[in-house]
Every structure is written in structure tokens, then in C-alpha cells.
Amino acid sequence: MCTMIVNQTKIWGSGKGANGWFTVREVNVSYDHPFHAPLEHALNIDFVNEADGPSARVAVELSVESARQLVQTILATLERAQAGGYLSE
């Protein structure tokens, strides 16, 4: 079914979409029907810039296990960077 489970937050960075690089301003995280992944539901992440229209989007659709691994990997990477003194801000 359409779960309508979605969260959005503001972010800052760049993403490479179908038309090349663009500035990403928001990320939408949903657990709902994927477009491509062969699953009924997936953890979908859309990096977007709403001001630039629907095509400003970098999408990934992950299994639940993959999504959890991604979260842990991001946090572990940031922890190493912090321990190394690279996170000055």
C-alpha cells in the first residue's frame, strides 16, 4: 500500500542528477513503494532542490537492511573524521 511515511529535512551539499551537478537543499526520506527496486516497499531517499523543480533529484531506493547499514556507515565515517580532527566546524 501507499504508506505515506515520509520525513523531510533541510540539508546543504551537491548532488549529481540526470542533468549534472546541482545544489541540494532538501532530503526526503520515505518508506513507501519504490519505482525501481524490486520490493513492495523500500527506504527511499531523494536528495532534491525544490526550487529547481521535480527533476532536480538524486534518488536511491534501499532495502531496510541496506538503509540501516548506510546510517551506521555514515555515522562511523563522521566519527573517524572527528577523531582525526578534520571536523573543524
Work out which of 55, 69, 77, 82 binds other proteins, going by CB under 8 A: 55
Minimum distance of other proteins from residue 65's CB (angstroms) = 17
Binding string, residues 7-46; x marks residues near other proteins by CB under 8 A: -x-----------------x-x-x-xx-x--xxx---x-x
**Three-point CA angle 25, 26, 32, nearest 5°:** 155
- Beta carbons within 8 Å of 8's beta carbon, 6+ residues apart: 26, 27, 28, 29
Q: Phi and psi for 88 in degrees, rounded to 5?
A: -80, -30
List of residues contacting other proteins (CB under 8 A): 1-4, 6, 8, 26, 28, 30, 32-33, 35, 38-40, 44, 46, 48, 50, 53-55, 57, 59
